[in-house]
């Protein structure tokens, strides 16, 4: 069964460093998403991506964040200069256009720890 | 105002009993979808069940069913014959409208099944 994959599973970085979180969505999916979940809190939407551009973003997704689909398979989230409060689980999700349930399939997440 | 409210932060249920997890939502959009996801301690997000706002019947998926009461804006998840492996966080989420389908999440309910 196809699945969304994410790498790395856990990343530790120093405050101020750049990080790139990688996702490989399901191959015939067209809509891509990043969410984050700070430990013990609810999941928060960051950004959605369709047709090689951002279609929606939340107020969390400021200039420090960017997304890219560099090669038609990977979908990346870059945080330019990490802050302590960026520590969270980051989930990538993808959705197939036309799915009756519009279900988003989630990857296993990347746990980002900023020291 | 909260868009998705899950009023039960935690629940203990005896194995083999049925359990109902509450979810109420708030939207003025006539087209929306409601999702339930399970998050075990390992952290991944597992899709369980979906209910569309125009669906006439309550959704069912194996042991999971959704008690959809549109007038009351509630979408409670019912798990029949609970198993030890059902112990996890359960999140209710909503997609509003027919745009890019970002999900709005509740705070979750931690379900513990007792042997």
pLDDT given at position A100: 55
Quickly list DSSP for A32-55: EEEEEE-TTS-EEEEEEEETTEEE
pLDDT given at position B1: 66
pLDDT digits (tens, 9 = 90+) for B44-90: 899 999 999 999 899 999 999 999 999 999 999 999 999 999 999 99
DSSP A73: S
Token output for A53: 């551009």
A-B Cβ pairs (cutoff 8 Å, strict): 64
Is A52 at the interface with chain B, CB within 8 A?
no
Quickly list DSSP for B4-66: EE---SEEEEETTS-EEE--EE----SSEEEEEEEE-TT---EEEEEEETT-SS--EETTEEE
Mean pLDDT, residues A85-102: 85
With left for phi above 0 and alpha for psi between -120 and 50, is residue A52 left, alpha or beta? left
pLDDT digits (tens, 9 = 90+) for B15-31: 999 999 999 999 998 98
pLDDT digits (tens, 9 = 90+) for A94-103: 988 766 567 8
Token output for A14: 């120093």
pLDDT given at position B107: 94
Is the pLDDT assigned to residue B99 strictly greater than 70? no
Token output for B114: 């007792």
Is B25 at the interface with chain A, CB within 8 A?
no
Say whether A102 and B95 touch across the interface (CB within 8 A). yes
The CA-atom distances, in angstroms, between A57 and each of B10, B43, B102 are 31, 24, 9
Is B36 at the interface with chain A, CB within 8 A?
no
Q: Which residues of A touch B105 (CB under 8 A)?
A: 42-45
Angstroms from B52 CA to nearest CA on chain A: 7
Q: Which residues of B touch A33 (CB under 8 A)?
A: 102-103
Is B68 at the interface with chain A, CB within 8 A?
no
Is B105 at the interface with chain A, CB within 8 A?
yes
pLDDT digits (tens, 9 = 90+) for A26-79: 988 989 999 999 988 889 999 999 989 999 999 999 999 999 998 878 999 999
Q: Which residues of A touch B54 (CB under 8 A)?
A: none
Please tell me the least confidently modeled range out of A87-96, A106-115, B79-88, B100-109: B100-109
The CA-atom distances, in angstroms, between B44 and each of A5, A51, B68, B93 are 11, 26, 26, 15
CA distance B115 to A36: 33
């Amino acid at each position: 069964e196809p699945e969304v994959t994410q790498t790395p599973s856990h990343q530790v970085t120093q405050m101020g460093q750049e990080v790139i979180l990688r996702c490989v969505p399901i191959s015939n999916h067209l809509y891509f998403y990043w969410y984050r979940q700070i430990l013990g809190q609810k999941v928060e939407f960051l950004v959605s991506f369709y047709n090689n551009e951002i279609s929606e973003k939340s107020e969390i997704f400021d200039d420090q964040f960017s997304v890219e689909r560099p090669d038609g398979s990977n979908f990346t989230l870059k945080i330019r200069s990490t802050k302590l409060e960026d520590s969270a689980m980051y989930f990538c999700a993808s959705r197939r256009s036309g799915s009756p349930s519009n279900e988003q399939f989630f990857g296993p997440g990347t746990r980002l720890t900023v020291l | 105002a909260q868009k998705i409210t899950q009023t039960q932060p935690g629940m203990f249920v005896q194995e083999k009993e049925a359990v109902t997890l509450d979810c109420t939502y708030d939207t003025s959009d006539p087209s929306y979808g409601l999702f339930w996801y399970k998050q075990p301690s390992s952290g991944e997000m597992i899709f369980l069940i979906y209910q569309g706002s125009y669906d006439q019947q309550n959704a069912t998926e194996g042991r999971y069913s959704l008690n959809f009461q549109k007038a009351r804006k509630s979408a409670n998840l019912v798990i029949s014959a609970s198993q030890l492996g059902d112990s996890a966080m359960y999140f209710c989420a909503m997609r509003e409208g027919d745009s890019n389908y970002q999900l709005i999440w509740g705070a979750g309910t931690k379900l513990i099944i007792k042997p």
